[in-house]
Chains A and B, each alone.
Chain A
Amino acid sequence: MDPVHDDAAGAPHPGAPAGRHDTAPDLGALLKRSARGDSTAFAELYDATASRVHGLVLRVVRDPAQAEEVTQEVFLEVWRQASRYDAARGSALAWMMTIGHRKAVDRVRSAEAATRRDLSYEQGNQTVPHDETAEAAQASLEARRVRAALSQLTDVQREAIELAYFGGYTHTEVAALLDLPVGTAKTRIRDGLIRLRDSIGVGR
Chain B
Amino acid sequence: MSDHQQPQGWDDVHALVGAYAVDALDDGERERFEAHLRQCADCRDEVASLQEAAALLGTDDVAPPTELRDQVLAGITTIRPLPPLSHDASGGAPVELAARRRRLRPFSSSRLPLLVAASVVLLAAVGGLLLRPWAGTDEGPLTATEQVLAAADATRYEQEFPDGSRATVVVSRSEGRAVILTEDMALAPEGKVYELWLQSPEGTMVPAGLMPDEPDTELLLEGDASEAKAVGITVEPDGGSAIPTTTPIAVFTLDT
B48 proximity list for chain A (CB < 8 A): 89-90
Binding site secondary structure of chain A:
helix
B17 close to chain A: CB less than 8 A: yes
A83 proximity list for chain B (CB < 8 A): 81-85
Which of B44, B62, B81, B94 touches A128 (beta carbons < 8 Å)? B62
Which of A39, A72, A130 touches B61 (beta carbons < 8 Å)? A130
List A residues 62-108 near B (Cβ within 8 Å): 68-69, 71-73, 75-77, 79-84, 86, 89-91, 93-94, 97-98, 100-102, 105-107
Count of residues in A whose CB is under 8 Å from the partner chain: 88
A139 proximity list for chain B (CB < 8 A): 59-61
A39 proximity list for chain B (CB < 8 A): 73, 76-77
A150 to chain B, nearest CB (A): 8
B239 proximity list for chain A (CB < 8 A): none
A166 proximity list for chain B (CB < 8 A): 57
A142 close to chain B: CB less than 8 A: yes
Binding site secondary structure of chain B:
loop
Which of A43, A84, A97, A203 touches B73 (beta carbons < 8 Å)? A43
Binary B-proximity of A130-168 (CB < 8 A = 1, otherwise 0): 110001100110110110010000000000011011101
Which of A100, A186, A200 touches B24 (beta carbons < 8 Å)? A186
- Given A83-B81, A93-B55, A190-B15; A110-B61 close (CB under 8 Å): no
A117 close to chain B: CB less than 8 A: no
Q: Does the CB pair A55–B141 fall under 8 Å?
A: no
C-alpha gap A164/B19 in the complex (Å) = 8
B18 close to chain A: CB less than 8 A: yes
Which of B60, B71, B85 touches A124 (beta carbons < 8 Å)? B60
B14 to chain A, nearest CB (A): 8
A27 close to chain B: CB less than 8 A: no
C-alpha gap A144/B68 in the complex (Å) = 29
B137 close to chain A: CB less than 8 A: yes
Interface-side segment among B98-106, B125-133, B150-158, B181-189: B125-133
A59 close to chain B: CB less than 8 A: yes
B124 close to chain A: CB less than 8 A: no
Which of B19, B49, B85 touches A171 (beta carbons < 8 Å)? B19
B195 to chain A, nearest CB (A): 24
C-alpha gap A35/B16 in the complex (Å) = 31
Q: Does the CB pair A46–B58 fall under 8 Å?
A: no
- Given A39-B73, A76-B76; A51-B61 close (CB under 8 Å): yes
A30 proximity list for chain B (CB < 8 A): none
B8 to chain A, nearest CB (A): 14
B134 proximity list for chain A (CB < 8 A): 73
B63 close to chain A: CB less than 8 A: yes
B54 to chain A, nearest CB (A): 6
> B residues engaging A (CB < 8 A)?
12, 14-19, 21-26, 29, 44, 48-65, 68-69, 71-73, 75-77, 79-85, 94, 126, 130-132, 134-135, 137-139, 141
10 of the cross-chain contacts (CB-CB < 8 Å) are: A46-B69, A76-B79, A79-B79, A81-B81, A98-B55, A101-B55, A139-B59, A143-B59, A190-B18, A203-B52
